[in-house]
Amino acid sequence: MAVLLWLLILSAFHAVTLAQQRQFNITHGSSLTPITNSSWFSSSRHFAFGFYEQTNGYAVGISIVGMPKKTAVWTANRNSPVVPSNAVLLLTSDGRLIVHVGSQEISVINPSRAIASASMLDTGNFVLYDSDRNVIWQSFDNPTNTLLPGQHISAGQELFSSASEADDSFGIFRLKMQHDGNLVQYPVNTADSASYAYYASYTGGLGNNVSLNLDDDGLLYLFNSTNSLKNLTKGGYRRERTIIYMMKIDADGIFRVYSHSLNQQNSSMIWSSTNDGCDPKGLCGLNGFCTTIDAQAKCFCLPGFNFVMPGNWSAGCERNFTTETCQLKENTSKYYDMRTVENTGWEDSTYVVLAVTTKEDCEQACLQDCNCEAASFKDKVCRKQRLPLRYGRRDQRNSNLALVKVGINVLPNKELPDQKIEETKGKKLRIDILIASITLTVFALLVDVILVLMI
Ligand SMILES: *[C@@H]1O[C@H](CO)[C@@H](O)[C@H](O)[C@H]1NC(C)=O
Ligand SMILES: *[C@@H]1O[C@H](CO)[C@@H](O)[C@H](O)[C@H]1NC(C)=O
Ligand SMILES: *[C@@H]1O[C@H](CO)[C@@H](O)[C@H](O)[C@H]1NC(C)=O
Ligand SMILES: *[C@@H]1O[C@H](CO)[C@@H](O)[C@H](O)[C@H]1NC(C)=O
Ligand SMILES: *[C@@H]1O[C@H](CO)[C@@H](O)[C@H](O)[C@H]1NC(C)=O
Ligand SMILES: *[C@@H]1O[C@H](CO)[C@@H](O)[C@H](O)[C@H]1NC(C)=O
Ligand SMILES: *[C@@H]1O[C@H](CO)[C@@H](O)[C@H](O)[C@H]1NC(C)=O
Ligand SMILES: *[C@@H]1O[C@H](CO)[C@@H](O)[C@H](O)[C@H]1NC(C)=O
Ligand SMILES: *[C@@H]1O[C@H](CO)[C@@H](O)[C@H](O)[C@H]1NC(C)=O
């Protein structure tokens, strides 16, 4: 009896091993679904290709197995919406890798030739082969936001951050290995120009074939096919089969090197491109500004502005009033006032530079110019600015004063959400409230008197 049971267990074990082995060579007709059979594993089972969970559905990608938080290192179709739990991923008999959602068919990876087989390798590289076993596509050549040991970002390639920690669709930051040898970070949708850069390795001029590389001891470095050019991390971290290092450009725009311990099932950050969360340009959208509070980056709106989408910093801020009184050609100080934000600057949008002696002179100059929306005052120079103000940032080292025109006594924009920012309220506002309450009190008294008289 015991022998029979033992045999049964052995054969079950054998079957499991076989099933797993078969997956190393993924062939036509293989399929996955998000819930029951979600992944094709590498032989060590450290990496998995398949469905992984996102906020409102599933994405297809490669993740490190066994971490408490699904750690994706590559993601397919970052432009497309996530798929529901009834999706089916299939390597079709004619060699295409697709996802079926009902009758809809979504291409996952689209190499130039028909796929004969696929493999999830132990390095974390997912590889597609043709019938002659030539590599026709590999995830290591098509990075999304992560670099693994053995993989490199070659000249001209870039990584894009994710939209958020729980959503691996395209975010708003990029890291580019430039053809000039410089490794640079920019916000998305900007030119590769120094004025938009917020991180650089300062290795420009080192040749047109510089690549960014990560070694299995956590060494992150620039290399030009013969020489190591610059080390970003020290490297020399523990080299073990169960420790996986990776470099990732995070949703906050900072790129970091992480160490994942598969045994302890934990991760830690071992290096970061900056310690200042406000460095990434565009973290706060237009007319907002970034400030660090307890080492955490936080966005605020300039005085007189509210968030366009509360909770979505990058959507920026808009005026809480409509600028229409400018055409009235009246004395504008009835409608506008200036508010000050200290130690704050933004991308230059100056259209007039004035030499003035005091902050008040600068404020007056802006108030009396209906084209002036804000001004910056520093070292007796007043710079009038037009909206929108971009890449705003508060920094104690910057003595610049941001002077912002705010609307008073004008109609509000529309139904506005509560403004969460605390700002120094001007005297004018308090006087306005005082006058309003006096008016109310007088009115109430009058009504009382009339009521008393009527009785
Ligand atoms: C993978 O499977 C395909 C189809 O069955 C076969 O032609 C190929 O030789 C296999 N490759 C390996 C490395 O086993
Ligand atoms: C899961 O998928 C693998 C590979 O496609 C297949 O061999 C296996 O039978 C599937 N298991 C189940 C429970 O569907
Ligand atoms: C790589 O860099 C080294 C040192 O800067 C330089 O001597 C060498 O010519 C470069 N090689 C290539 C292929 O650019
Ligand atoms: C560029 O560098 C890569 C990897 O470092 C190397 O494989 C390739 O041959 C180099 N290309 C040229 C044109 O030097
Ligand atoms: C980077 O570190 C490695 C390993 O410590 C070393 O061999 C290499 O020379 C270093 N490169 C530079 C440019 O310092
Ligand atoms: C995981 O946790 C252990 C124990 O707390 C710690 O010693 C180890 O350094 C951690 N490893 C990583 C990669 O964070
Ligand atoms: C707009 O904001 C300014 C400055 O915070 C404030 O004084 C003004 O009352 C606000 N206007 C409206 C219509 O909310
Ligand atoms: C946040 O705002 C940006 C810019 O308007 C937009 O592209 C993005 O989709 C928004 N994100 C969310 C989660 O609404
Ligand atoms: C506008 O009115 C204020 C106060 O009523 C006054 O101090 C200021 O000189 C006036 N400005 C202009 C340009 O008339």
Question: Residue whose CA is closest, atom 3 of ligand 3?
Answer: 227
| Cβ 117 under 6 angstroms from ligand 1 | yes
Query: Which residue has the least CA distance to atom 4 on ligand 1?
Result: 27
**Residue 350 confidence (pLDDT):** 87
Q: What is the DSSP letter of 360?
A: H
Domain spans, the chain: 22-142, 143-274, 288-422
Structural contact between residues 129 and 118, judged by C-beta atoms closer than 8 angstroms: yes
Same fold across 22-142 and 143-274: yes
pLDDT tens digits in sequence order for the chain, 455 residues long: 444 444 444 444 444 444 444 457 999 999 999 999 999 999 999 999 999 999 999 999 999 998 877 799 999 999 999 999 999 999 999 999 999 999 999 999 999 999 999 999 999 999 999 999 999 999 999 999 999 999 999 999 999 999 999 999 999 999 999 999 999 999 999 999 999 999 999 999 998 999 999 999 999 999 999 999 999 999 989 898 899 999 999 999 999 999 999 988 889 999 999 999 999 999 999 999 999 998 899 999 999 999 999 989 999 999 887 765 565 555 666 778 899 999 999 998 889 999 988 999 999 999 888 889 999 999 999 999 999 999 999 998 889 999 999 988 765 554 444 333 333 333 334 434 444 444 445 455 455 555 545 54
pLDDT confidence of residue 343: 93
Q: Tell me the DSSP string of 284-352.
A: S-TTEEEEEETTEEEEEEPTTEEESSTT-GGG-EEESB---GGGG-S-GGGTEEEEEETTEE-S--EEE
What pLDDT does residue 81 have?
Answer: 94
Most ligand 4 atoms within 8 A of CB, residue of 225, 226, 227, 229 to mutate: 225
- With CA atoms as reference, report the closest residue to 104 among 124, 90, 121, 87: 87
Half-sphere exposure of 340 (CA within 13 A, CB side): 14
Contact call for residues 317 and 286 (beta carbons, < 8 A): yes
What distance in Å separates the CA atoms of residue 276 and residue 281, rounded to the nearest whole number? 12
Q: What is the pLDDT of residue 227?
A: 94
Domain 22-142 has CATH 2.90.10.10: yes
* CATH code for the part of the protein at 143-274: 2.90.10.10
Whose C-alpha lies nearest to ligand 8, atom 12? 312
Query: What is the C-alpha separation between 386 and 169, in angstroms, rounded?
Result: 33
- The CB of 228 under 6 Å from ligand 1? The reply is no
Whether the CB of 68 sits within 6 Å of ligand 6: no
Query: Distance between CA atoms of 242 and 122, rounded to whole angstroms?
Result: 12
Ligand 2: which atom is nearest the Cα of residue 31? 5
How far CA 238 is from CA of 46, 65, 244, 315, 454, in Å, comes to 17, 20, 10, 42, 91
Ligand 2 centroid distance, CA of 20 (Å): 9
- Fold classified for 288-422: Hepatocyte Growth Factor (3.50.4)
